[in-house]
């Protein structure tokens, strides 16, 4: 078959909001295998009946290597047992390959289905030609095309050679219901290799002749290397190279990771501490408060909050910087070979790694090949390209393949952090206690702005996905004041939704308390009317939010009394097109909340795999619990104070609550699930703390 | 440098390394057994857990000279004849998400079951609290341990 004839096959733009534009599709390289059928970049079928599905997103625990093939296999009518998965590297075939924004399923739902459907139609045509019967009398099912009238069948493997010579159909109707795989509780494809040590993460990768490197990075934000003394390091066992890497780092290369670490331990670096050497968290908070009076960009406005009259209530909230802390510390392997460089990296942004490494090396992007390994957690930390570019530069410097390995402390102190934020909220209540006006001002530095993006209208684009106010207020305003900080910023699981939800969902509870009303009843009243709330490009429906709130409350038994000493709290929020509500049960122990139970309900449209959905809910709750109770990065003397899991301690099994996850059954298009249950957790806990103590805690962390 | 002899997953391995090298890096870099993971380097997360003479041990914080001549079992050698009951249970409960911590979780759980074949919830909590999972798989870890212990699940 001619590759060119397949160009533009299924060249569909999808999910404009997420920025994914699927480019042209060429046959996958496996198409060159003898007799193989590879109608598009996503799939290859071989005569042995094997179906290889290419996954162009990174597997970081969220289940893409299972969920995305399920979507394709559904339309292909494949035999699930014959499916194997291949990880795509950075490519021009798949559009934007960024794994983030809870977007993998929602942005590949259509392309994967179309890819499967086109192949299925071609296999049916091949069988019809083979038998000399009409296409309409043939049916694809479970890896075979059958002809019931003559009781014949041929497997996809038997048909693939003939199918490969047929034209690729377009405009194939896709299933809207009666799914066989989609919506079923399938085991994950990647589990067996993750229980016997065989799964290969970035840290496990090696190439022949590879050296091991660790890097001494300036501990002061914005500082640089002034000079360094490597006399002791060069005497250290196994060390083969010491050298500056960029302005603020010194690399130590050795024959093993430990020898590189030992070499770094005895390295003496004098730092130019730079302009922010006296920076403290207190100064950052005070700067955020001061900035609150600056000009704000309107994110959402309805009615006129200035003209509403009633009982005024106001409050201020604040949140600290937080670190992602995925369990696999940063690493990448790079092999620079003159006119090309190959990189193996646990990355959420293979194309950015490719382009950034190329730029750093003075190569063209197509001279850099990026392979994606498994990721030992992501949570947004691996949306940065730092480790990979370090490895590429160092490989060039030493003329050998090298693995750059970060330690836990390296990651904690040289990460990119969830932005600290400050929030001003105010409301006016009518005589019955219902809000006639609601205002929320978010004051925070811009992640995208710090990374060089032009902010359209002063709005960080992430706020468009993560801050919607999904209530029917007669008058409301949500606005944003952008600030600057030298502290490096990154996108951390649920991004700004965590801050926005903590402030606004705690404040809604304050209003309910001021009105003397039940927090569930209060919210349901604000969601009672079926409203479509337009927020930037999204439409949020009060009916769907009401649905998840009611579901969580029903499952949690909101109206039933709890044992003495236990208290309920709830919150709901929407982000990445998904609606989520959490109900928590807590007790107070030594003035700290102990969370016993979390009931989560989500509406994320069509569920692909309830098994993975349940995992993601559990994951979001445990992650959100760390955020709420303990996660806090503080700055002192220009340095990140926290270093390891003793002073930045994630939730362990002894503090893990009972978690129950539920979802609303519907056939809306699928939306995100990795992040949306996170934001409504911290406010639900804060609201339960209020219920227990009658004290409102307006800052994180709680414990 | 020191000459070290280890029994790793039933095989004798001899090597010459700095005696203070943590067992973790000997396993990973010298012996190419990468199932044992580096998470914190300080004995705080449990990702590096292996068995030394049957007891769970944080390999990131154990100089190799301390285990010279001892029997070491890593995740690769846990199921000497096929998968260990815990590994089967981990698959049945579909425990892992990113999977990075799971070698350490399984090794810790295996040591628990070796001394407490039918652990209570409290036993599990006590044994497993040293192992961090950032993906929050704790509920399924608990269920998988009960399943492997023959808890009727």
B94 contact residues in A (CB cutoff 8 A): 187-188, 191, 611, 615
Cα–Cα distance, B43 to B51 (Å, whole number): 14
DSSP per-residue string spanning B135-153: T--HHHHHHHHHHHTT---
Query: What is the pTM (predicted TM-score) of this model?
Result: 0.95
Q: Which residues of A568-583 are buried (b: 16+ CB within 10 A; e: fewer)?
A: bbbbbbbbbbbbbbbb
Q: Are A376 and A203 in contact (CB under 8 A)?
A: yes
Cα–Cα distance, A119 to A415 (Å, whole number): 44
* Strand segments (E) across A532-591: 532-535, 538-541, 567-575, 578-589
- A194 has a chain B CB within 8 A of its CB: yes
pLDDT at position B81 is: 78
- B115: tokens are 């001394």
pLDDT at position A40 is: 87
* A 325-384 near B (Cβ less than 8 A): 325-329, 374-379
Burial (CB count within 10 angstroms: exposed 0-12, middle 13-18, buried 19+), residue A284: buried
Q: Are A60 and A44 in contact (CB under 8 A)?
A: no
B96 contact residues in A (CB cutoff 8 A): 61, 188, 190-191, 194-195
Q: Are A271 and A223 in contact (CB under 8 A)?
A: yes
Distance of CA B71 to CAs A297, A338, B12, Å? 64, 45, 9
Cα–Cα distance, A634 to A283 (Å, whole number): 11
pLDDT at position A703 is: 84
Over the stretch A206-233, which tens digit does the pLDDT of each residue have?
999 999 999 999 999 999 999 999 999 9
Over the stretch A487-541, which tens digit does the pLDDT of each residue have?
999 999 999 999 999 999 999 999 999 999 999 999 999 999 999 999 999 999 9
Over the stretch B78-135, which tens digit does the pLDDT of each residue have?
997 799 999 999 999 999 999 999 999 999 999 999 999 999 999 999 999 999 999 9
Asked if B97 and A375 come within 8 Å (Cβ–Cβ), the reply is no
Residues of chain A by 3-state class (helix, strand, coil), percent to 5: 35, 25, 40
* A 445-504 near B (Cβ less than 8 A): none
* B 22-41 near A (Cβ less than 8 A): 22, 25, 28-30, 32-41
* B 66-95 near A (Cβ less than 8 A): 74-76, 78-79, 83, 87, 90-91, 94-95
State yes or no: pLDDT of A12 exceeds 90. no
Over the stretch B128-140, which tens digit does the pLDDT of each residue have?
999 999 999 999 9
- A2: tokens are 């001619």
Cα–Cα distance, A652 to A201 (Å, whole number): 23
Averaged confidence pLDDT in chain B: 96
pLDDT at position A25 is: 37
Over the stretch A427-465, which tens digit does the pLDDT of each residue have?
999 999 999 999 999 999 999 999 999 999 999 999 999
- B120 has a chain A CB within 8 A of its CB: no
Asked if B39 and A329 come within 8 Å (Cβ–Cβ), the reply is yes
State yes or no: pLDDT of A34 exceeds 90. no
CA nearest to A192 within chain B: B91
Over the stretch A556-577, which tens digit does the pLDDT of each residue have?
999 999 999 999 999 999 999 9
State yes or no: pLDDT of A26 exceeds 50. no
Cα–Cα distance, A113 to A68 (Å, whole number): 9
Q: Are A511 and A522 in contact (CB under 8 A)?
A: yes
pLDDT average, residue stretch A270-284: 98
Per residue, the 3-state secondary structure of A385-440, as one string, reads CHHHHHHHHHHHHHCCCEEEECCHHHHHHCCCEECCEEEEEEEEECCCCCEEEEEE
Over the stretch A152-187, which tens digit does the pLDDT of each residue have?
999 999 999 999 999 999 889 999 999 999 999 999
State yes or no: pLDDT of B19 exceeds 50. yes
Asked if A195 and B139 come within 8 Å (Cβ–Cβ), the reply is no
Cα–Cα distance, B147 to B153 (Å, whole number): 5
Q: Are A370 and A350 in contact (CB under 8 A)?
A: yes
State yes or no: pLDDT of A3 exceeds 70. no
Asked if A200 and B137 come within 8 Å (Cβ–Cβ), the reply is no
State yes or no: pLDDT of A94 exceeds 50. yes
- A109: tokens are 């739902």
State yes or no: pLDDT of A133 exceeds 90. yes
Indicate the pLDDT class of residue A29, thresholds 50, 70 and 90: very low
Indicate the pLDDT class of residue A33, thresholds 50, 70 and 90: low
pLDDT average, residue stretch A139-150: 98
State yes or no: pLDDT of A257 exceeds 60. yes
Q: What percent of chain A has pLDDT over 70?
A: 95
Asked if B42 and A201 come within 8 Å (Cβ–Cβ), the reply is no
pLDDT at position A17 is: 25
Q: Is the dihedral of CA A103, A105, A106, A108 positive or negative?
A: positive
Indicate the pLDDT class of residue A35, thresholds 50, 70 and 90: confident
pLDDT average, residue stretch A309-323: 98
State yes or no: pLDDT of B77 exceeds 80. yes
- A657 has a chain B CB within 8 A of its CB: no
Task: Please report the ipTM that was assigned to this predicted complex.
Answer: 0.98
pLDDT average, residue stretch A387-411: 98
Q: What percent of chain A has pLDDT over 90?
A: 93
């Amino acid at each position: 078959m001619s590759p060119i004839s397949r160009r533009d096959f299924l060249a569909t733009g999808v999910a404009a909001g997420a920025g994914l534009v699927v480019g042209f599709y060429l046959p996958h390289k496996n198409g060159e295998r003898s007799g193989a059928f590879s109608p598009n970049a996503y799939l290859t079928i071989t005569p042995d009946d094997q179906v290889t599905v290419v996954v162009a997103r990174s597997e970081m625990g969220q289940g893409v290597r299972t969920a995305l093939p399920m979507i394709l296999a559904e339309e292909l009518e494949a035999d699930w047992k014959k499916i194997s998965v291949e990880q795509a590297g950075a490519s021009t075939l798949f559009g934007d390959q960024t794994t983030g924004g809870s977007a993998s399923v929602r942005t590949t739902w259509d392309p994967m289905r179309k890819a499967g459907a086109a192949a299925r139609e071609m296999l049916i045509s091949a069988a019809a030609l083979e038998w000399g019967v009409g296409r309409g009398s043939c049916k694809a099912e479970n890896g075979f095309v059958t002809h019931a009238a003559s009781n014949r069948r041929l497997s996809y493997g038997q048909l693939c050679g003939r199918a490969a010579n047929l034209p690729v159909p377009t405009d194939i109707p896709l299933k809207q219901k009666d799914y066989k795989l989609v919506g079923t509780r399938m085991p994950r494809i990647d589990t067996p290799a993750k229980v016997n040590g065989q799964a290969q993460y970035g840290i496990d990768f090696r190439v022949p002749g590879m050296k091991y490197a660790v890097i001494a990075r300036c501990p002061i934000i914005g500082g640089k290397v002034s000079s360094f003394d490597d006399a002791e390091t060069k005497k250290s066992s196994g060390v083969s190279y010491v050298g500056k890497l960029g302005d603020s780092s010194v690399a130590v290369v050795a024959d093993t990771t430990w020898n590189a670490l030992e070499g770094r331990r005895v390295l003496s670096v004098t730092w130019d501490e730079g302009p922010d050497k006296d920076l403290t968290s207190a100064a950052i908070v005070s700067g955020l408060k001061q900035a609150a009076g600056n000009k704000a960009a309107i994110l959402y406005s309805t009615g006129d909050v200035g003209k509403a009259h009633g009982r005024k209530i106001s409050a201020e909230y604040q949140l600290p910087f937080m670190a992602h802390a995925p369990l696999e510390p940063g690493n990448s392997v790079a092999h620079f070979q003159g006119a090309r460089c190959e990189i193996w990296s646990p990355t959420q942004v293979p194309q950015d790694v490719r382009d950034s490494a190329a730029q750093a090396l003075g190569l063209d992007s197509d001279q850099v090949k990026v392979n994606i390994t498994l990721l030992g957690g992501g949570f947004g930390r691996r949306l940065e390209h730092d480790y990979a570019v370090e490895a590429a530069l160092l490989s060039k410097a030493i003329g050998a393949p090298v693995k750059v390995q970060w330690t836990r402390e390296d990651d904690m102190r040289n990460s990119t952090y969830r932005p600290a934020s400050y929030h001003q909220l105010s409301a006016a209540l009518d005589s019955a206690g219902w809000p006639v006006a609601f205002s929320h001002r978010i004051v925070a530095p811009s992640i995208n702005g710090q990374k060089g993006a032009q902010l359209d209208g002063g709005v960080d684009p992430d706020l468009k996905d993560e801050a919607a106010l999904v209530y029917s207020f007669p008058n409301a305003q949500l606005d944003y004041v952008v600030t600057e900080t030298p502290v490096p910023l990154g996108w951390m699981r649920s991004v700004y939704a965590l801050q926005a939800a903590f402030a606004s969902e705690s404040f809604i509870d304050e209003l309910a308390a001021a009105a003397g009303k039940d927090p569930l009843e209060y919210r349901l009243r604000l969601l009672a009317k079926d409203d479509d709330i337009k927020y930037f490009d999204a439409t949020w429906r009060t009916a769907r939010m009401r649905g998840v709130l009611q579901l969580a409350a029903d499952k949690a038994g909101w109206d039933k009394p709890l044992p003495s000493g236990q208290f309920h709290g709830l919150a709901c929020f929407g982000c990445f097109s998904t609606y989520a509500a959490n109900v928590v049960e807590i007790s107070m122990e030594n003035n700290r909340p102990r969370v016993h139970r979390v009931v989560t309900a989500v509406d994320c449209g069509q569920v692909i795999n309830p098994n993975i959905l349940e995992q993601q809910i559990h994951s979001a709750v445990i992650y959100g619990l760390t955020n709420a109770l303990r996660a806090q990065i503080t700055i002192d003397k220009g340095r990140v104070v926290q270093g390891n899991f003793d002073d930045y301690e994630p939730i362990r099994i002894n503090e893990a609550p009972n978690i129950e996850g539920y979802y609303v059954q519907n056939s809306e298009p699928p939306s995100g699930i990795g992040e949306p249950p996170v934001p409504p957790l911290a406010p639900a806990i804060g609201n339960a703390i209020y219920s227990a103590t009658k004290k409102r805690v307006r800052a994180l962390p709680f414990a | 440098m020191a000459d070290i002899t280890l029994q790793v997953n039933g095989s004798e391995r001899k090597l010459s390394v700095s005696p203070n090298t943590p067992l973790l890096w000997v396993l990973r870099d010298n012996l190419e057994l990468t199932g044992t993971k580096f998470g914190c380097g300080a004995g705080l997360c449990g990702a590096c857990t292996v068995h030394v003479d049957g007891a769970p041990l944080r390999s990131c914080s154990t100089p190799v000279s301390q285990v010279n001549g001892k029997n070491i079992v890593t995740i690769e050698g846990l199921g000497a004849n096929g998968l260990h009951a815990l590994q089967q249970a981990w698959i049945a409960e579909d425990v892992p998400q990113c999977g990075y911590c799971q070698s350490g979780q399984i090794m810790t759980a295996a040591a628990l079951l070796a001394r407490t074949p039918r652990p209570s919830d409290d036993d599990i909590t006590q044994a497993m609290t040293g192992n961090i999972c950032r993906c929050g798989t704790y509920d399924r870890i608990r269920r998988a341990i009960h399943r492997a212990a023959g808890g009727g699940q």
